[in-house]
Amino acid sequence: MRTLDGKVVWVTGAGTGIGEAAARLLALAGMTVVLSGRRVEPLEAAAAAIRETGGRAEAMALDVVDRGAVFEAAAAIGRTHGRIDMLFANAGINLTPRNWSDAIDDPGVLDGWDAVIDANVKGVYNGVAAVLPAMRRQADGLIAVTSSWAGRFHSKVAGVAYGASKHAVMSLSAQVNMQEGANGIRSCAICPGEVATPILERRPVKLTSDELEKVIQPEDIAEAVLFVARMHPRTSVHEILVAPTQMRAALT
């Protein structure tokens, strides 16, 4: 497996959860990590924690829905570091009103679903389009995207908009592999089941503390991201499907 020393990775949704855990692990492996997200405070705290352990990290406040800002962020990373070796497109959201009955009761719920699609789908292809030119110049690049168990299968608990968005992410990732593999660019869709991150707080029915201890933890998915990052460039891992060992009926 290849060394990651001196490589540059951009992690979106990096202030908490999977993104923050992956940023820490990739930095420990020798990568320079650019952490982005909508809230600057957790980003700065995460970057500072990485630097305290000897890693290289910087924070960049960013909303992935803002296409102009995403392209400028990619350009800034290129100017500062001279390369972008990996994008971990992890930013995503969900809402509590997520079922058709919610939309029937209040059509305004559909505005929230628009926001989910914007963040989870447009946010991904904004980031991918922004880094592809640099990766093509390098003839090498890796994109990892956080999809979901709900992107590989159909999940009632995930809801209408979130499930649709994550199925779209699967297609976006597959299209990178089909169209950009000849340019040395790979993409992996990471599909976790329930992960103990802040997004679970949006569930209509919250998990108990005991249930949270039994689901996937952010550092578990970070290990999967690191595995993909270390894979030799001649090999593309298209998908990684991850579930809690103790599967809950709610997962389906």
pLDDT tens track, the chain, 252 positions? 789 999 999 999 999 999 999 999 999 999 999 999 999 999 999 999 999 999 999 999 999 999 999 999 999 999 999 999 999 999 999 999 999 999 999 999 999 999 999 999 999 999 999 999 999 999 999 999 999 999 999 999 999 999 999 999 999 999 999 999 999 999 999 999 999 998 888 888 889 999 999 999 999 999 999 999 999 999 999 999 999 998 765 554
Phi and psi, residue 140, nearest 5°: -170, 135
- For the chain, what is the total number of helices (H) and then of strands (E)? 10, 7
- Sheet containing 56-61: give its strands across: 56-61, 32-37, 8-12, 86-89, 141-146, 185-192, 239-242
Q: Are strands 141-146 and 32-37 parallel, antiparallel or unpaired?
A: unpaired
Active site residue 125: no
Predicted local confidence at residue 83, as pLDDT = 97
Phi, psi values for residue 86, rounded to 5°: -150, 140
Pick the CATH number of 8-241 from 3.40.50.720, 3.30.70.2740, 3.20.80.10, 3.30.499.10: 3.40.50.720
Residue 158 DSSP label: T
- For residue 143, the surrounding DSSP H or E stretch is strand 141-146
Please state, in angstroms and rounded to a whole number, the distance separating the CA atoms of residues 36 and 27: 15
Burial (0-12, 13-18, 19+ Cβ within 10 Å), 183: middle
With contact defined as beta carbons under 8 Å apart, do 187 and 233 qualify? no
Whether 242 contacts 220, CB under 8 Å: yes
CA angle at residue 220 from 245 to 66, to 5 degrees? 120
Identify the active-site residue in 162, 180, 221, 222: 162
Torsion, Cα of 73, 131, 18, 178 (10° steps):
160
